Structure 1
Amino acid sequence: MRAVAFLRAERHEDRVLLVEIGGDVGEGDTVDAHAAAFIFPPARLRPGREGAAGCGIPLARRDCPLPPPSRRTTATPQREDKPIPRPAPAEVSPKGVAEHVYARLLKMLESRLLPPDTAVAERRLAGDLGVSRTPLREALRRLEGEGWLARRSDGTLAVRRLDVEEMLEVLQVRRLLEPEAAAAAAGTVPASEIEALRKRVQRLLAGGDPLDPERAALDHALHRAIGAACGNNTLAATIADLRRRTVLFATRRVPERLEPVCAEHLAILDALALGDAAAARAAMTTHVQNSRVALLRRLAGG
């Protein structure tokens, strides 16, 4: 039979609160002590005996009056520990993903991993970059607005190609603006940045590979540092746009220009480090002018 041994019984309207110290036992059996709280209607209580814990309180019987209300505090069930909620991991916003994709595509364009006239295959690019096509399309629209990409007559998107006439015009304007930016940046570029660029030039020279993508990346890094330090945002933005258009010209870099270009870069860095505005202006003028001469020779087949 079912018996419930308890520590105390307290009246609660038409129910009795029992603090159990026994389980399924028969009359006269002893029980193992454990604690739990139950509420039973009085009619469901069955006869029993004292619990094995020796509390001295008899089991409630169906035909006996309920014990008087106790003045002791009702036993409170043990509270279950709930796991502490943890904040959900931060999600990258779609705008942040598109910005990241834009930066990666821009680097690919600047290093000519996506050369002029290359058709843009969205599905393949999305797979290569490990992103969905939604942020990719947002980045592509931005690059198209900046002039890196253009629509062909059939509607497909491709890396824009700069013609010879436009390229020569760009170099002419760069020759006017970049020396002034270098002069203004002299003495303001951080020494740590100059030293880092100098080491990159030396590594490029030691490698001896004229087609090393680092050659283009280093060139862009140097000119960006000058633009950031020249103190004229409009001038820096104009030069950046002109240099961007230069990259779109479909001509490979002249192999024999590796050592001269590295020497020109070192001369510019030296002038920047010394804070010599005149020397920085002269070094940058030589650099841009030599780039124009090399281009003309290449176009002439020389």
Structure 2
Amino acid sequence: MQKKLATPSLLHTMITDMSVVKSADDVYHAIKHALIEKRYVAGEYLREEQVARSLGVSRTPVREALRRLGAEGWLESKPNYGVRVKAWSIQDAREIFEARLLIEPYLAGHAAARIGVTDIERLHVLAQQMADITHRPSTPESIERWFCANDEFHAIVTSAAGNARLDQSLKSMKETPLIKWTFDAYSDADRSRSASQHFEIVRALEQRNAAWAEAITRCHILAAQATVLGRSATEDPAS
């Protein structure tokens, strides 16, 4: 089977969008951004020399970036072939939901005692934005706006808990292309239900009610899990 290689045009687009690459971290973030935006297909091989030439850097920072991305689960190494984009499975989705259920409600409960007024006001705005989107026909653009608002909403809540290590672990999981793929599986009714739950999370935080914030966050994730895994099982019962 012919191996799929990252094309120069994709790499050129990647660096055009990410501004000038200057450091090893820049290289890492440039490649990661391209992966988040699904500019590579599952199984596509990334060659150090080609990536380095496209980014205008040496192979050393590229090698380090690919190593980091492999450790984070974005890429996988194939002996005698190289590094390729990881193909995400329904089992990956199950594991991410399980991890979210362990971490995210806990952080939401702790956020209830610590979150500031400014953050709560911002959560109100984001929850309303998502609710407004559900009242209009679904389009790729509206789904993208929803995804961005939803991502910011949850990031504010978990960051407010004050546990940087758990928050970073959660963020790493949520940055995977799989999260965006699962969200794309939502129907308009699913998004409407999710928007209502966001308002309830805000109310729990306003009341400084840790048990409520934890409980509704858990319900929120369980509902998403049921939607995504239920749909996947219907489409592929063997998954």
When residues 254 and 145 of structure 1 are mapped into structure 2, their CA distance, relative to the original with a 3 A threshold, is same
Alpha-carbon spacing, 1:222–1:112, altered in 2? closer, same or farther (3 Å): farther
Question: Structure 2 CA distance, aligned partners of 1:216 and 1:295?
Answer: 15
CA distance in 2, matches of 1:114, 1:268: 35
Q: CA deviation at 1:294?
A: 0.5
Distance in 2 of aligned mates of 1:204 and 1:248: 17
Counterpart of 1:236? 167
Give the alignment of 1:183-262 within 5 angstroms.
183-207=109-133, 208=136, 209=138, 211=140, 212-244=143-175, 247=178, 251=182, 253-256=184-187, 257-262=190-195
CA distance in 2, matches of 1:95, 1:166: 31
Match of 1:263?
Answer: 196
Change (3 A) 1:112 1:183: farther
Contact 2:74 2:85 in 1 (8 A): yes
**What secondary structure sits across from 1:158 in the alignment?**
strand
CA gap 1:204/1:141 in 2 versus in 1, 3 angstroms: same
State yes or no: 1:280 paired with 2:213.
yes
Asked which structure has the greater RCO (Cα within 8 Å, sep 6+), the reply is 2
Picking from 53, 56, 67, the partner of 1:132 is: 56
- CA contact 1:268–1:283 (8 Å) conserved in 2: yes
The answer to whether the Cα contact below 8 Å between 1:181 and 1:226 also exists between their aligned partners in 2 is: yes
**Do the aligned partners of 1:186 and 1:277 also contact (CA within 8 Å) in 2?**
yes
Gaps of 5+ in 1: 1-93
Shift in Å at residue 288 of structure 1? 0.8
Distance of 1:111 and 1:275 partners within structure 2: 37
Superposed displacement of residue 136, structure 1: 4.7
Q: CA RMSD in A?
A: 3.5
3-state SS of the aligned residue for 1:279? helix
How far the C-alpha of 1:278 sits from its partner, in A, is 1.8
Aligned-residue offset at 1:161:
2.7
Q: Which residue, out of 177, 180, 183, partners 2:106? A: 180
Compute the displacement of 1:301 (Å). Answer: 2.5
Instruction: Say if 1:210 and 1:255, in contact at 8 Å, map to a contact too.
Output: no
Measure, in 1, the Cα distance between the counterparts of 2:128 and 2:52: 33
For 2:233 and 2:181, the matched residues in 1 are separated by 15
Aligned to 2:15: none
- Which consecutive residues of structure 2, in runs of 5 or more, have no partner in the other structure? 1-19
2:206 and 2:31 mapped to 1: Cα distance? 32
* TM-aligned CA deviation for residue 293 of structure 1: 0.4
Cα distance in structure 1, aligned partners of 2:200 and 2:46: 39
Cα–Cα, structure 1 residues 275 and 116, in superposed 2: closer, same or farther, change >3 Å? farther
Aligned to 1:97: 23
Does the 8 Å CA contact 2:96/2:173 hold for their aligned counterparts? Answer: yes
* 1:72-98 CA distance string (max 9 Å, x none): xxxxxxxxxxxxxxxxxxxxxx99633
Distance 1:205-1:102 versus aligned 2 partners, 3 A rule:
farther
Q: Which amino acid aligns with 2:108?
A: A
Distance 1:139 1:158 in 2: 13
**Partner residue of 2:70 out of 137, 140, 144:** 144
Which protein is bigger by CA-based radius of gyration? 1
Taking the aligned partners of 1:246 and 1:264, their CA distance within structure 2 comes to 24
Q: Provide, for residues 144-171 of structure 1, a one-character-per-residue CA deviation record: whole Å limited to 9, x for no partner.
A: 2222221245634333233323432332
For residues 201 and 120 of structure 1, what CA distance do their matches in structure 2 show?
Answer: 39
- The one-letter amino acid paired with 2:121 is E
Q: Which structure has more helix as a fraction of its residues?
A: 2
Query: How far apart, in 1, do the equivalents of 2:215 and 2:26 lie?
Result: 37
Post-superposition offset of 1:218 = 3.1
Structure 2 Cα separation of the partners of residues 286 and 280 of structure 1: 10
Q: Distance in 2 between matches of 1:114 and 1:198?
A: 35
Identity %: 23
Q: Normalising to structure 1: TM-score of the pair? A: 0.55
Matched residue type, 1:301: T
**Structure 1 residue 188 displacement after superposition:** 2.0
CA contact (8 A) 2:129 2:149 kept: no
